[in-house]
Structure 1
């Protein structure tokens, strides 16, 4: 299958590989490596796929959220369209967004706990602390 890829998603397979390795061996070193891989992709102007839904009574779109067992709300994003299609939900409206901008937005929205990357498969929960570490700020 030689499907054309969106430029901004090229290289995101490195993130998937790092997250897979982290799932196999959940150590501080592997977490640091995974965050470094995400940071590199961010600095290369990498993008994520995000699901959006229309905001009632507004022209704006809102990022879709997932509520975790503890009641926290998280945005979710995907490293590729293939990852998005692994979910149980029907295909949704999606957009590409710069990683850097998504991280900044997540840090600025108090009711969001962070971003869950690839919630259906090679998953990592980036809370605000991990996002700040990834951004290097």
Structure 2
């Protein structure tokens, strides 16, 4: 018997609901232990070559595609990444150009881009803000 949900999910996104469940548990019971659990789940998905959805901005004069950044009230800039297409569309408003990226490559890139403070996973709902320190912890 096949599960309809996974048959319509891109292979790289399968099992990302584990990340969503870990984030939900952290939101319901914020603690160092639950944060460690969420980071461990994320690390496992990364090591299993899991993927996230990222939004890109249309190229400007230099024809370079850039990952869409979100600026928080404190002025910090974050790349937005989504565990599923359902999470991505919760942002409502604008239609975004998106593509799948390897979790590890995304994290490595975030660490190398000075003007980015980190990655926000699922910025509209089951949100996890990973600053560069937390990204380094996930990468081990």
- How many angstroms does 1:28 deviate by? 0.3
Gaps of 5+ in 2: none
Q: Are 1:135 and 2:139 counterparts?
A: yes
Q: Are 1:115 and 2:111 counterparts?
A: no
> Which residue of the other structure, out of 25, 32, 40, is the alignment partner of 1:28?
32
- How many angstroms does 1:59 deviate by? 2.0
Look up the SS of the partner of 1:134 in the other structure.
helix
- How many angstroms does 1:5 deviate by? 1.1
TM-score normalised by L of structure 1: 0.96
TM-score normalised by L of structure 2: 0.94
Superposed CA RMSD in Å reads: 1.1
- How many angstroms does 1:9 deviate by? 0.1
Residue 63 of structure 1 corresponds to which residue in structure 2?
A: 67
2:71 and 2:122 map into 1 onto residues whose CA distance is 15
Gaps of 5+ in 1: none
> Which residue of the other structure, out of 64, 70, 80, is the alignment partner of 2:84?
80
2:96 and 2:126 map into 1 onto residues whose CA distance is 20
